[in-house]
Structure 1
Amino acid sequence: MDFVDIPLDTDLPVFLEPGAIKSLRSPWGNDISSMLQTFFDTVLRLIHSGEHEKAQRLLSSLNERNEFHLGYSSGESRGHGFGSGSAETVWGALSKSNAAVTGLLKDLEDTALLIPGIGTDMISDAVCNIIRGPLIKYTQDMCFYYGVPLTPDVASGPIWNPQQERWDHSLIPLPVTDYGKVILVPKILVRYRLSVQYDEYYRHYILPEMQDEHIKAHSPLVEVLKDGTERVTKKSLIEKYGNDKLAVAEQTKVRPNILQEYKDQKAAQPSNPLTQDQFCELEATQPPDLDPLVTELRSLPTGRDSAAKYEDIIERILSVILYPSLCNPIKQHNIHQGRKRIDITYTNESKTGFFYWLSMHYPCPLMFVECKNYGKEAGNPEIDQLSGRFSPSRGQVGLLICRNIEDKNLLYQRCIDTAKDRRGYMLVLDDEDIFSLVEEYKLNPEDQSFDLLRKLWGMLID
């Protein structure tokens, strides 16, 4: 499944990570990243302008919530919200922090570096609450997609309204269990920990800078080795200046460029999503077994009566093989006010491999898949149908998947003609190609190079 398969009675020890959100390149990713930033900017602006009561009210809605089931709880899920216990505590930490007063704090995750008492679980719960609105919409979409029943008129909880800079509330349909309502989180967004870590930042960025400064100043901390080399040890700096978050904030205040350098490097090298195997270990489930789907596909008859089943099998296979490059599958995606439909639409959030290379050279924020359960050869009408789904904003790359291709050279020549006419790029796969992708996946589930797809792409653009 596209979402984290949470237990209903406790939490999974993974976290919603701001850096993972900011690394998204899809319109949805940009929207939720903007929501995070507007909330934190609003709170800091209110604190700077002395509107402390309003700042506390905004922070109070980041109190502990149990419907996400992410975090460190070993028993019943209980949350560790930014506003847990009292919003006044968090407000006090922000309003009295030199980092906030001097403008060092710019992003929510900066608090994990510079504010004592704020850690991974609190940041994760805060993020969950701030992007609650988009996560509710995602949950509703996934429930519709997988056939999970929704209960009407469930209290939404506070939903951040970035335009009005306030929390809204409404009654909405959500899945409800014996343990309460549930809000789902995409796998692509969770990590084992935050990408920014104050001890890593201090030891590998701040302290080396301080070492150079002390050597240049010939400070008393400088030691001269037998060969005449001068050095300042990190241990001596820690003994003099400390190594807690207060020390980190104080040393960052006089070297703000180092903080930006650290954040820039983290942004340039975003952490990778968890693998299928890691999720299986977390969720105590078995790794995806594609063999039954392959067997089912081999025995599936062609024709209109089996078209929906064919589409379902293809989606289930592709969603395993192509994760995490492609995510958030949507079946029968309507475009042009419902006048056209796409069998399966994926969001391209690749960070490595074939689909990442593709995104660097061709417009493909979305990847379109058309499935044809024909007993006959696909031809120009099917190619024209898929090309009609392309646009500069949605993307111009897709997969045409059919049962059998008798003359691949002819079909690919038709795709080449379409590409040369600037009507989009189509990779055509038949059952045997799908089976080959499955075998590639079995050999190395984490490999995102997709040699078969790259080979077919080479034929397309030669």
Structure 2
Amino acid sequence: MRFKEKFGITDPDHEFFDINIYVDTKKFVDPYCVSQTPTFTGVAAQRCISFFMKELLTSIQNQTDTYSSYLCSRFNEPNGTRLGYSKVKRDGSGAGDHLAALFLQELKRIRHLIQNGIFNYLEECSLLCDELKFDRISDITIDIIKLPLIEFTQIQCHKYGIKMRKTKSKLSYFCISTGLWKEDYFELPHIDDSEEFLILIPRTFIPKVPTYNPMYFYTNTAQEHFKRQAIFNNDSCVSRDRKGNTQVLSKDLRISEQYKPSKSNIKRGILEKPELLLKYRNEIAMDIYIRNFRK
């Protein structure tokens, strides 16, 4: 059952993504889309991400591991949003510890990119971090922007007359005023008389397809760079057209071990030519974003 149906909302221009309240929907919050949303919630969420990432990347660059670990200490598979793959509870240290360790491990692997000012945005993890795919980046994003999302949910509930009650447990959120994680109880909509609360997310945070898709990046930026490199090195994927001109066919490039669309090759291409990231952000990502939300 969808949120709108459950709470009797008929407004076709609602701002929130209409979640299924009982099962997870395989959709993801995209931090690039957050950065392009000029609403009150969008600006507040972007401020959270920017502040958090600046603090985290500085601490990783300076190798202040204790502070880096603290910043990631409250990561968890978010409750209430009903997004992503179906969550399976982990034994032992828990999903939060796993996600925090994974995120820090991946960022430390690209410390050289951070120190050289090449890696700057959370969404770039999908291109540069092997184990951080769209679902993990979405979970991390939701954790960082939890407070703006809760406030957005409360605004929507007031708008549509939806009853809320306090959560039974405290929810953690990142406070940019102090740079600390805090906890509190929050008024949120619940599923009937259960303890299960719901958190709404703006539609503009959730694209049809993630913006920073490695294959999109490869096709639109890295591929041409690799073709020029292959021609310069006279690699085996180089051929000639009917007029005898040197060329590299995309199909030949993609089966070459050195130039195929793997994350390791994408990272190498970015390290060789950092402006590929800037080109993608300023040209390709914006085009994908516009197509994602075109009616």
TM norm. shorter chain > 0.5: yes
Work out the CA distance in 2 between the residues paired with 1:216 and 1:118. 33
2:197 counterpart of 1:181: yes
1:41 aligns with 2:44: no
> How far did 1:72 drift?
2.2
Match of 1:117 in 2: 131
2:266 aligns with: 248
Task: State whether residues 82 and 122 of structure 1, in contact with CA within 8 Å, keep that contact through their aligned partners in structure 2.
Answer: no
Q: Which residues of structure 1 form unaligned runs of 5+? A: 276-351, 353-445, 447-462
TM-score, structure 2 as length reference: 0.82
RMSD between aligned residues: 2.7
How big is the shift at 1:7? Answer: 2.2
Aligned partners of 2:99 and 2:120: how far apart in 1?
23
Task: Point out the structure with max Rg over C-alpha.
Answer: 1
2:156 counterpart of 1:142: yes
Deviation at 1:82?
9.2
Which structure 2 residues correspond to residues 409-428 of structure 1 after superposition, within 5 A? none
The CA deviation string for residues 280-323 of structure 1, in whole angstroms up to 9 with x for no partner, is xxxxxxxxxxxxxxxxxxxxxxxxxxxxxxxxxxxxxxxxxxxx
CA drift at 1:5: 2.6
How far apart in 2 are the matches of 1:248 and 1:269? Answer: 20
Q: Rate the CA distance shift 1:90–1:188 in 2: closer, same or farther, 3 A.
A: closer
Q: Which residue of 2 aligns with 1:21?
A: 34
Q: Are the structure 2 counterparts of residues 223 and 94 from structure 1 closer, same or farther at C-alpha, using a change threshold of 3 Å?
A: same
Does structure 2 conserve the Cα–Cα contact (< 8 Å) formed by 1:191 and 1:274?
Answer: yes
Structure (1 or 2) with the greater strand fraction: 1
The structural deviation recorded for 1:209 is: 1.5
Distance 1:207 1:153, change over 3 A: closer
- Distance (Å, rounded) in 2 between the aligned partners of 1:100 and 1:244: 21
Aligned partner of 1:69 in structure 2 is 82
**Deviation string, structure 1 residues 139-179 (Cα, Å, up to 9, x no partner):** 11111222222113544522111232221111221223326
Q: Is the 8 A contact 1:64 1:84 kept in 2?
A: no
Deviations 1:40-79 (A, max 9, x none): 1211111111111221221131221221111122xx6879
Structure 1 match to 2:220 = 204
Change over 3 Å in CA distance of 1:149–1:172 after alignment to 2:
same
Amino acid at match of 1:14: K
Tell me which residue corresponds to 2:280.
262
Tell me the residue number matched to 2:178: 164
What stretches of structure 2 of length at least 5 have no aligned partner? 1-13
Amino acid aligned to 1:103: G
Tell me, in whole angstroms, the C-alpha distance in 2 between the residues paired with 1:69 and 1:190.
Answer: 12
In 1, the alpha carbon distance for the partners of 2:198 and 2:217 equals: 35
User: Is residue 224 of structure 1 aligned with residue 240 of structure 2?
Assistant: yes
Q: Does 1:96 align with 2:109?
A: yes
Contact 1:150 1:174 in 2 (8 A): yes
How far has the Cα of 1:28 moved from its partner? Answer: 3.6
- Relative to structure 1, the CA distance from residue 153 to residue 13 in structure 2 (aligned partners, 3 Å threshold; closer, same or farther) is closer
Q: Percent identity at matched positions?
A: 22
Code of the residue aligned with 2:23 in structure 1: it is: T
Mapped to 2, the partners of 1:273 and 1:167 lie a distance apart of 36
Tell me by how many angstroms 1:213 deviates: 3.3
- What's the counterpart of residue 249 of structure 2? 233
Distance 2:156 2:170 in 1: 17
- Partner Cα separation in structure 2 for residue 86 and residue 21 of structure 1: 21
Task: Tell me the SS of whatever aligns to 1:191.
Answer: coil
- CA distance in 2 between partners of 1:64 and 1:49 (Å): 28
Matched AA of 1:204: N
Alignment match, 2:10:
none
SS in 2 for 1:228: coil
TM-score relative to the length of structure 1: 0.54
* Cα distance in 2 between the residues matched to 1:191 and 1:220: 39
SS of match in other structure, 1:88: helix
Contact 1:190 1:273 in 2 (8 A): no
Q: Is the 8 A contact 1:3 1:186 kept in 2?
A: yes
